[in-house]
Amino acid sequence: MTEERLIISRKTTNKFFLMIAIGVILLIVGIIAMAAGGGEHHAEGHGEAAATAHEAVSWTKRLLINLWLNNVYFTGIALAGVFFVAVQYVAYAGWSVLIKRVPEALGYYLPIGGVVMLLVFLFGSHDIFHWTHEGLYDVNSPEYDPIIAGKSGYLNTAFFLIRMIVFFALWILFFNWLRRNSINEDLHGGTTYYHKSIRISAMFLVVFGISSSVSAWDWVLSIDTHWFSTMFGWYVFASWFVSSLAAITLTVIILKQNGYLKMVNANHLHDLGKFVFAFSIFWTYVWFSQFMLIWYANIPEESIYFIDRLSGNAGNFKWIFFTNLLVNFAFPFLVLMTRDAKRQMIMLKIVTIAILFGHWLDFYLMMMPGTLRTSASIGFIEIGTALVFLGVFLLTFTKGLTKASLVPVNHPFLEESVHHHV
Amino acid sequence: MTKKFVLGIYDDEDVLLQAIENVRAAGTKIYDVFSPYPVHGIDDVLGIKRSRLPIVAFFCGLFGTSFALWMQIWMLGFDWPMIIGGKPHIALPSFIPVTFELTVLCAAFGMVITFFIVSRIRPTTRVNVFDKRSTDDKFVMAIEVNEGTTDISTLNNLLRSNGAIEVNEKEVIK
């Protein structure tokens, strides 16, 4: 088997830089507009809602929550990439060997994600997380909140930071460990690295199982501090994993269309398509399991979460709520149902792009109603931040892809992957 | 009524696949090939078209969805309206689990029943086992003999030259 080296041309890198530049310009425009106009005002809304629709939100708060949103989204994609590789190892999977370097390279974003996450939390914790306000825990303060005070054993800044740092340290450690073994295998061959990778992956999966759930509670669920849901860890995991699968599939297709990954054929795409299809349904299953029980029981402390996203907040999030289901469930479900659709690049491309956008919206819907509330909208700041993150992500990801051969030349299951047939 | 078949016995998967291609290229119609396990790519070389069973599954599933929704809406909304948990009579989210289950049930049963009908499998079906070794370690290629038109010795040579380890003849009751 011959090596395949990806070469990212200067032109492509410049495109990514241009993406970041446009993002920064949009951000500056958005910030200036907000600072000068005191926020974008919405004339819509009726009666009482109109009064609350004008809650002023500072541009710093809006910027910080956007940074948080995009960083959680992209970190999740990177993490789920490493998870995908680990699952393939533990399952002794043969088919995925040819595309394995793609999810592997996603992990290169993790260190950046860790640093950004830490910085945004240190500077913006009060803007993003209600529970970080000191007064909530002080019995003599007018702000005292017995419910949140009762959670202080878990939800306190020090423990939160420890968890964040430990998780990122573990993820980066395991990512580097797996990656090093994978590259050493290319250089030296033999099955030692393969067997070692299986053991590393098994350990990582245990770490991932716990840390992905806990980080979902910390980074996303704790924004709505009073609310809780036992499905939430799964929900965020499903969202991360399906976005990551979409990113992997899209990258494989783009690489293939540019003449790389020559041995990847419709059979590999078919399996990736099945993954995207299945986990879109899995995400919906978790979404519905969470929604229906809360809707049925109709207990105020639980249903407030969905009221905030439907009729609450001046109906600000209603369209996103339904778009979310449409783009992330109905669209992939109907389009990817047939065998032919999963084997055609164009269909997969359309669906994966829709899913990547749809799950960004999903995270938007998880974070904005609890922070920006009625003043949330998708404007220059949102698009700008997303573009900057996308640019940075693509730069690190493509750089990671160029660091090793796209074909893991000495993987023991390479031959099986080349002859994969479904 | 009996029918006569010529059976080519093979003991190697790759030889078999090549043989199928050559035999078909020589203009011989293969009745069927029996194998102890599924052979990758055998459908393509035998020229078997993709099954249309998924289409049946889709429409059976669609029927299940519509039937479940209609049943629940009619029963709980019109025929015998009841207030359950303070929800409206027609409360769609609570209908989804039943709808899902009936969709899966109808799709699955529809597929199995259609498969039985199309393959003509029923309790009285008699299965002709051409060669018992096809359930163990041999591949059996069966070619139907049409009296008068099929030249058995040429067929014999064709199969043997393509790697058959044995060529037998067998009459089966149809």
This model of the complex carries an ipTM of 0.84
Q: Nearest-5° angle of CA A336, CA A275, CA A333?
A: 30
Alpha-carbon distance A396 to A394, whole Å?
6
Q: Per the structure block, which two tokens stand in for A357? A: 């956008």
**Does the pLDDT at position A42 exceed 70?**
no
Q: Tell whether B86 is within 8 A of chain A (Cβ).
A: yes
Q: Is the pLDDT of residue A49 over 50?
A: no
Three-state SS at A93: coil
Best residue of A292, A329, A335, A340 to probe chain B, by most B CBs closer than 10 Å? A292
List, for residues A252-266, the tens digit of each pLDDT value: 999 999 999 999 999
CB pairs under 8 A between A and B: 20
* pLDDT attached to residue A50: 44
Which of B95, B118, B141 is the last residue in one of the domains? Answer: B118
Q: Are residues B63 and B111 in the same domain?
A: yes
Model pLDDT, residue A53: 46
Q: Does B54 touch chain A (CB under 8 A)?
A: yes
- State the pairing for strand pair B32-34/B166-173: unpaired
From A288, A338, A421, residue closest to B96, measured CB to CB: A288
Of B54, B93, B97, the CB nearest to A291: B93
B145 - beta bridge partners?
A: B4
Higher per-residue pLDDT: A334 or A1: A334
Residue A163 to residues A71, A117, A157, A241, A339: CA-CA distances in angstroms? Answer: 17, 12, 10, 21, 43
Query: For B91, which residue in chain A has the nearest alpha carbon?
Result: A296
| Local confidence band at A236 (pLDDT 50, 70, 90 cut-offs) | very high
Relative orientation angle of helices A59-90 and A192-219, to the nearest 10 degrees: 150
Strand, helix or coil for residue B32: strand
Of A139-143, A281-285, B2-6, give the lowest mean pLDDT range: B2-6
Same domain (yes/no): B107, B84: yes
Chain A residue numbers with beta carbons less than 8 Å from the beta carbon of B93 are: 288, 291-292, 295-296
What does the pLDDT read at residue B149? Answer: 77
% of chain A exceeding 70 in pLDDT:
95
C-alpha angle A396-A108-A185 in degrees, rounded to nearest 5: 120
Q: Let me know: does B102 contact B70? Beta carbons within 8 Å.
A: no
Residue B158 has pLDDT above 50, yes or no: yes
pLDDT confidence band for A38 (50 / 70 / 90): low
| Tokens 């592997």 belong to residue | A104
Strand partners, B7: B142, B168
Alpha-carbon torsion angle A329, A331, A336, A337, nearest 10: 70
Q: Name the residue of chain B whose CA is nearest to A292's CA.
A: B93
Looking at the predicted structure, is the pLDDT value of residue A51 above 50? no
What's the pTM value of the predicted model, to 2 decimals? 0.91
Residues from chain A that touch B96, judged by Cβ atoms under 8 A, are 288, 292
- Do B162 and B136 have their domain in common? yes
Is residue A10 less than 8 Å (CB to CB) from chain B?
no
- Is B41 in contact with A421 (Cβ distance < 8 A)? yes
Please, which residues bridge with residue B9 across strands?
B140, B166
**Cα–Cα distance, A200 to A175 (Å, whole number):** 10
Same domain, B68 and B87: yes
Query: Where does the pLDDT of residue B87 fall: very low under 50, low under 70, confident under 90, or very high at 90 and above?
Result: very high
B97 contacts in chain A (CB < 8 Å) = 292
Q: pLDDT-based confidence at B171, cuts 50/70/90? A: confident
Which residue of A295, A339, A421 is in closest CB contact with B93? Answer: A295
- B96 and B147 in a single domain? The answer is no
Residue A122: exposure state from Cβ atoms within 10 A (0-12, 13-18, ≥19): exposed
Contact A348, A249 (CB under 8 A): yes
What is the tens place of the pLDDT at every residue in A274-287? 999 999 999 999 99
Q: Which domain holds residue B151?
A: 2-49+127-173
Domain boundary among B98, B118, B138: B118
Which chain A residues touch B94 with a CB distance below 8 Å?
292, 296
Distance (Å) from the C-alpha of residue A286 to the closest C-alpha of chain B?
A: 13
The amino acid that residue B156 corresponds to is: N
Final residue in a domain of this structure, among B94, B118, B142: B118
Q: Which residue has the tokens 């698009």?
A: A383
CB of B38 within 8 Å of a chain A CB? The answer is no
Q: If phi over 0 gives left and psi between -120 and 50 gives alpha, with beta otherwise, what is residue A313? A: left
The residue with greater pLDDT, A202 or A49, is A202
- pLDDT of B37 above 50: yes
User: Per-residue pLDDT tens for A357-416?
Assistant: 999 999 999 999 999 988 888 999 999 999 999 999 999 999 999 999 999 999 999 999
Band of residue B41 on the pLDDT scale cut at 50, 70, 90: confident
Residues of chain A positioned with their CB less than 8 A from the CB of B56: none
pLDDT band, residue B173 (cuts 50/70/90): confident
Q: State the pLDDT confidence band at A55, using cuts at 50, 70 and 90.
A: low
Is residue A47 pLDDT above 60, yes or no? Answer: no
Kindly report the average pLDDT of chain A as a whole number.
Answer: 93
pLDDT above 70 covers what percent of chain B?
99
Residue A307's H or E segment, with its range, is: helix A300-309
pLDDT of the residue at A46: 45
Residues B79 and B27 in one domain: no
Provide the residue ranges of all domains of chain A, joining segments of one domain with +: 10-40+53-418
Whether A337 has a pLDDT exceeding 80, the answer reads yes
Which residues between 49 and 78 in chain A have a beta carbon less than 8 angstroms from any beta carbon of chain B? none
Q: How many domains does chain B have?
A: 2
If you average pLDDT over residues A124-147, what whole number do you get? Answer: 92
Mean pLDDT of A206-233: 95
**Gyration radius from chain B CA atoms:** 25
Q: Tell me the mean pLDDT in the region A92-108.
A: 96
Q: Are residues B25 and B70 in the same domain?
A: no
Assess A11–B contact: CB distance below 8 Å, yes or no. no
Q: Is the pLDDT of residue B95 over 90?
A: yes
Same domain, yes or no, for B11 and B34?
yes
**A49: buried, middle or exposed (CB in 10 Å: 19+, 13-18, 0-12)?**
middle
B81 touches chain A (CB under 8 A): no
Q: Does residue A248 contact residue A106 with C-beta atoms inside 8 Å?
A: yes
